[in-house]
Structures are given as structure tokens and as C-alpha cells.
Homo-oligomer: A and B are copies of this chain.
Amino acid sequence: MKKSFIAACLLAGIFFADTLKAQQATWIWYPGDFEIWLANKMQNRRTERGAFFPPFWRLDNHYVLMDFHKVFDLPAAEEVTLYTEGEYNVKLDSKMLPGRPAKVTIPAGRHKLNIKVYSLDKVPAIYVKGKTVVSDSSWKVTYEDKEWIDATGMVSSQSGTQWLSAGYWHFNDPMSPPSQFRLSVEPQGPARTERKGQSMTVDFGKETFGFIKLHGLKGQGAVSIYYGESLEEAQSTTTCETLDHLEISAAAARDSVMPLSKAFRYVHLRYDKGVHIDSVSMLYEYLPVARCGSFRCSDEEINRIWDVSAYTLHLNTREFFIDGIKRDRWIWSGDAYQSFLMNYYLFFDSPSVTRTLMALRGKDPVSSHINTIMDYTFYWFLGIYDYYLYTGNETFIRQFYPRMQSLINFCLQRRNSNGLLEGLPGDWVFIDWADGLSKQGEVSFEQLLFCRSLETMALCANIAEDTQGAAKYRQLAAGLRTKIFDYYWDEDKQALVHSRINGQPTPYVTRYANMFSIFFNYLNEAQKQGVKEHVLLNDSVQQITTPYMRFYELEALCAMGEQDYVRKAIKDYWGGMLRLGATSFWEKYDPKEKGAEHYAMYGRPFGRSLCHAWGASPVYLLGKYYLGVRPTSPGYATYLAEPVLGGLQWMEGDVPTPDGNIHVYCSTQQIRIKADAGRGTLRFKSRSKPVCKGAAIEDKGNGVYEMQVAQGKLYEVSYRL
């Protein structure tokens, strides 16, 4: 499906127009700048036992000086009100107005309005509101207008400046500028509070995130708050990962909210004798996004897994898609890539995807892989590929194409003499947390992701109308793909081997490259079956113990029609966490571990994150491979719905698209589908001839049937599984 999507894009050029919200005034800025600024705020909020714990890669910054402009053609003069974040000036038809005008009258006719803003500590931004003149994404922005004047005062006519369309989000209130952005909060009480002398243990009933609030705090002395995702962690005052220490000196009782929001299910408080605390509650902090996707089925355990997955994803969907709410609270490209995919089946919140992509990419020059990790650079490209497929938004791709070019150039320049990538000083070859996994030499998995990134560049080059670039990237991708099979495919093993060292293939087979090559559609049918049998379903190949890579392993199996196997695997693995009391899904789960072993990682007893975005993949797998809905052209203009019960008796759910939902119900005898938008193809297997009132069903042979789905209409198909 993805292959035909590329082909469609490259050949037919079927792209969607950008949707601009006209006439709605909104705060605007240079695209990517607010996102980079906000990411700095967020990623520098991590603490470890009270110590500030920032990232170890380069953090970029916004452009401090920005020019905004738009040309208006007005039937009548119009007074507009201006709001800015930063020092500013205003030019009307290139002539600077005196002072700092709060209102400007634009005369009737064709006129150009420029607003130039300088701001160091927040992103230069403007909000303009008149009767028809408003700030929105149709304004142009640049960080260098190059408007020099000659000795007579004439402005240079050919500046060579690149203007981009303004960036925006949802700041439609002039009094709530971007710099004031905060996530939403909601007061919530604990499930249980247990007091014992000068200590208190509070259980909020499930994994959560927010600001701890102490009620009726008074007296004199110290209070310590120890946070725990597990009870063990909260009570381990010397080894829990996060904490607050405060000194109280208050005669009158007052409520006190902690300054930093944190992840926890439990908090354990210890306080001096002179201190009194009435009770403890929290302000739950969250990004208000709607759950448009849904899933229900005949298996209650699967339903519970879907619910906990959705909750896990929501907790990690914040200013950006982060890895985990306790730790690292950073934006990791490999983690975010999975959140993007899950998001398309739960929130379909596109701004969260682009915010995250922009924050990850930062600015030029490229001095390191994204997050320093080679694979994570490639996931960034893959994220763009999928973003375009799911949303159809071209503006983002056109505007960020130069940053895509510089990042891929960074990779191309690091190729060795064989044209392959291997870890150079400063490159973290991550792949997965797996014991003894070799990162030496030319790892096949990295070449595979690199190849897909080059294909993405070819796609984006076409959108950006860089014909030469498109040809170049297409050729590089094709060449690399040939090499991958020449160098790594082992006919005896029926698998891609893990790596080459000193030009020689190693004898080891791991799951990584093999499972990706399936859903990248790089294998022929015989190779696919070979990989399935000799790798995916072969227990002697090192097992995966992170939900991170289980995501892809199970996706590969689903892509080969193994939904029944995958359903059992989900119940076993995610169900395994639930049976251990999980209320959100974990960074790592190894069924062989016991008790508090489950909480340890990185050499620390509570290092492991118990609420990790990559734990939420069932949301994606159930939507894409059970309800079976996925786009076949950008933005769901066309899509496939291929429901597969995989052993369930029935299932029902919604898959969101840019223009509404696709609702699917499927039992062993009936399929119902209704879509708000797009042109769909319903595909299913049936042992008898299916029937649908008012629709023609095509027999594709081998018991496979297809039916076209128009928007807005409910189809009921009778069939027999």
C-alpha cells in the first residue's frame, strides 16, 4: 500500500490544497520557531532527584528578529488593531510609521503592511485584527528582509529573500499570546490516603501527571514529597526518581501547589513535627485533544488494553509527543514516530505531529543525528512520509524541504566507501534496548531506514518542485536498496543478516531489518514467507523485550495476515502488564522478570518508565490492521478498509481522517461501514457470496471481495467468514 502511495504521488501528482482558515485572526510566527522555543521550555523541565536534567544534544533557538507582511486589496479603508510579542515597528507600503502604533488605518486599494518584531526571550509574534484584515497563515514571514537603501533612500528591489507562510496554532485570542501557552489543568482527588505519624502515602488510583497540591499547609519545618509510579518507588525515599523538598514557615493554613508537574500514581510525604497538612490532591495536567478514534470488541481484555493504550498515549501527548512522563520527558524521534502513527488512530491531531517534527529537527546547521541517534534521523523522515500520507498537507513539506535536504546531506556525507552508513564518533546506533545487540560495522537495519528516508526525500522533492532532487534521491534509494539485498540477504537463512564488518556479512540474524523489510514492502512473496518462518515465528532468534520493537514486529505479522497470532501476542504481552497491575504501559516488559525487577533500568532501581508512549501500540495495530482502515492517497482522499477479526467474534470502531471519521463494524457475518469523507475500498474475505443493498461487490478471486464506499452513506454487508 505504501509503495503504491509513493508511486501515485511521484507519477500522478495528486496532492491536496492547503486548508487556510481565512478571516480568523490568530497569532502568527516564523514556522518552527514557536515549536523550538516551546520544546526548550519543556525539555528543560526534567529533574532527577531535584537536579536539573537537560538533554545532551544541541538545543536551537528562535530567530529574534522577524518581518511579517501581507499585501491587501481593500474596497474601503480599514482600521486594524495590532498586538505583538516583542518590540516592533510598522511599515505601510515600505514607509515606516512613527513610534509604536497600536492601530493602523490601511487606505482603500492595494497596500502592503509590514510588521517587524524583535524579541529575545519569547518568539516574535503578531496578532492583527481589522474588519477583513487579519493575521493568519496567508501572511509571509522572513528573518532577513535585506531591505537596504541606497544613498538617496531608495529601497533595494531585489533582495533574494525567501518568504515562508506564517506558522500558527490555536492562539485566536489577542490577550492569550503564544508565550503564555500552558497545558490545561483539572483538579483531581486521590483514591486513597494513608497517614502514619509524620508521613502520608497518597494513591491516585492510576498512573497520572500533574501538580501535587497540599491543602491546609501550615507550621514550621521541612516537607518532602517522593513521587512513585509504583508504591515501592514512592516509599523509597533515597532512590525514587523525582521529589520535592520545601521549607514551610506559615502561621495560617494555606494551599500550596508544587511548581513542577510530575508523573506518579503514588506520592509519599514526610514532614517535620511542626508541620501540618490537611490533605493532598492534584491538578491533572493535559493537552486537550479529543479521542476521535475508538475500538470495542468481543474480548474484554483487548478492550482494556485499548483503553490503557489510549490513556498511555494521551499522557504522553503533551506540548509534544514525549517518550515517557516520568522520564525523559524529552522528544525522542524514534518514540515520537510511533506516537504519530498511534495518533492517526486516536486523536488525529496534526498540529501535535508537526510541532514535534519541527522541534526535533531544530535548525541548520546539522551537527549531529537527531537526538544523536542515527536511526532517529531516519524515523524523522519516515514521520514526514506518513504525515503526508495521513494528512495530505503539502505546505509543511514545502516549507521544511530545505531542512530535509540539509539533514539528508548530513547522512549522505557520512557514507563510507561502500556507500553505507556505520557509526562514526558522535553517532549513537541505537536500534533497541536489547542485551548484547551489536552496533558494529554496517548494520542492515540502518541501511534499510536510510533507504526509506531517501524515498521520502524523492517524494518531498516532487512536492517542493525540485525535479533534479527528486531524480537524485530516487536513484540513490534504488541503488541502496539493491545493495541491501546484495550485501545482507542470506538465501540459506532466508533473512537479512544483522550487519557487515570489514566488508563481510556477519552470521547473525536479528528481527529488526527483517520485520521492517516486510511493511516497507521490500521483499518478494517468497522472501516474505521465508522471513516470517525463519525469523518472525522463530523463537531461537533473539526475542524482543521492549514494546518499542514489538510495535514493528507485530505490524509486520499483521501486514502478512497474522492477526490471529498477533491478537494472542497482544493479550499475552500487554495483558501481562495489566495482570501485574499496570494502569499505563511500560518502557520495557520482560515476562521473565519478577516483582520490583520490573521497575529497574539504567542501573537504577526505579529507572524504568511505567508510562511510555511506545507502550501504546495496540491503538495503532487494532485500528490499522483489525478495523483495517488506512489511506491509499494523501489525506484519505482514497483509503482501504480491510477489517480482519483475527479470532474476535466482533469488533466496532472509528478511525479518524482529516475530514471526519470512518466507522467500521465487523462480526463473522456482517460488516457495516460509514465514512464522513473520502473514497473507500472495502475489502474482505467471505466463504459465501456477500450481499450489500445499494452497492456492487466485486469478486477478486480466492474468496476476496471488494466494494466501493462513498462518503456519508451507511453500507451493510452480509457475508460469511
Contact of A604 with B by CB under 8 A? yes
B118 near A120 (CB under 8 angstroms)? no
- Which of A92-100, A300-308, A628-636 sits within the interface? A92-100
A58 near B153 (CB under 8 angstroms)? no
Residue numbers in B under 8 Å from A275 (CB-CB): none
B602 near A426 (CB under 8 angstroms)? no
A602 near B149 (CB under 8 angstroms)? yes
B51 near A89 (CB under 8 angstroms)? yes
Q: Which of A144, A149, A153 has the most CB of B within 10 A?
A: A144
A97 near B147 (CB under 8 angstroms)? no
| CA A607 to CA B152, docked complex, whole Å | 10
B144 near A368 (CB under 8 angstroms)? yes
| CA A365 to CA B143, docked complex, whole Å | 13
| CA A153 to CA B156, docked complex, whole Å | 57
Residue numbers in B under 8 Å from A56 (CB-CB): 144-148
Main secondary structure of the interface of A (DSSP, over half): loop
Residue numbers in B under 8 Å from A147 (CB-CB): 56
Contact of A478 with B by CB under 8 A? no
Q: How far is the CB of A61 from chain B (nearest CB, A)?
A: 4
Partner of A98, one of B49, B64, B364: B49
Interface size class of A (residues with CB under 8 A): 35 or more
Residue numbers in B under 8 Å from A433 (CB-CB): 151
Residue numbers in B under 8 Å from A96 (CB-CB): 48, 51, 53
A 156-178 to B, binary, CB cutoff 8 A, 1 in contact else 0: 10111100000000000000000
Residue numbers in B under 8 Å from A153 (CB-CB): 602-604, 607
Contact of A54 with B by CB under 8 A? yes
Contact of A50 with B by CB under 8 A? yes
| CA A153 to CA B50, docked complex, whole Å | 19
A160 near B425 (CB under 8 angstroms)? yes
Within 8 A of B (CB), among A409-440: 424-428, 433
A50 near B146 (CB under 8 angstroms)? no
Partner of A120, one of B49, B61, B146, B426: B61
Within 8 A of B (CB), among A180-208: none
Residue numbers in B under 8 Å from A425 (CB-CB): 158-160
Residue numbers in B under 8 Å from A49 (CB-CB): 98-99
Chain B residue, CB-CB nearest to A145: B56
11 contacts between A and B (CB under 8 A): A40-B118, A40-B120, A44-B87, A51-B99, A52-B100, A52-B118, A61-B120, A99-B245, A151-B602, A152-B602, A365-B406
A601 near B120 (CB under 8 angstroms)? no
Residue numbers in B under 8 Å from A121 (CB-CB): 120-121
| CA A97 to CA B53, docked complex, whole Å | 11
Residue numbers in B under 8 Å from A149 (CB-CB): 602
Q: A54-B118, A148-B372, A151-B602 are in contact. List 9 more A-B contacts (CB 8 A).
A: A41-B120, A51-B97, A51-B99, A52-B89, A52-B116, A54-B116, A59-B63, A99-B245, A160-B427
A98 near B51 (CB under 8 angstroms)? yes
Residue numbers in B under 8 Å from A426 (CB-CB): 146, 158-161
| CA A79 to CA B148, docked complex, whole Å | 55
Partner of A364, one of B44, B365, B602, B603: B365
Q: A364-B365, A602-B151 are in contact. Are A57 and B144 (CB under 8 A)?
A: yes
| CA A87 to CA B428, docked complex, whole Å | 27
A 26-39 to B, binary, CB cutoff 8 A, 1 in contact else 0: 00000000000100
Chain B residue, CB-CB nearest to A608: B151
Contact of A284 with B by CB under 8 A? no
A 95-128 to B, binary, CB cutoff 8 A, 1 in contact else 0: 0111110000000000000001010110000000
| CA A601 to CA B365, docked complex, whole Å | 39
Within 8 A of B (CB), among A1-47: 37, 40-41, 44
A87 near B372 (CB under 8 angstroms)? no
Contact of A367 with B by CB under 8 A? yes
Contact of A88 with B by CB under 8 A? yes
B50 near A99 (CB under 8 angstroms)? yes
| CA A151 to CA B153, docked complex, whole Å | 63
Residue numbers in B under 8 Å from A116 (CB-CB): 52, 54
Chain B residue, CB-CB nearest to A367: B144
The 9 closest A-B pairs by CB, nearest first: A160-B426, A153-B603, A160-B425, A121-B121, A58-B144, A153-B602, A50-B99, A61-B61, A59-B65
B53 near A64 (CB under 8 angstroms)? no
| CA A610 to CA B428, docked complex, whole Å | 58
A44 near B158 (CB under 8 angstroms)? no
| CA A338 to CA B58, docked complex, whole Å | 36
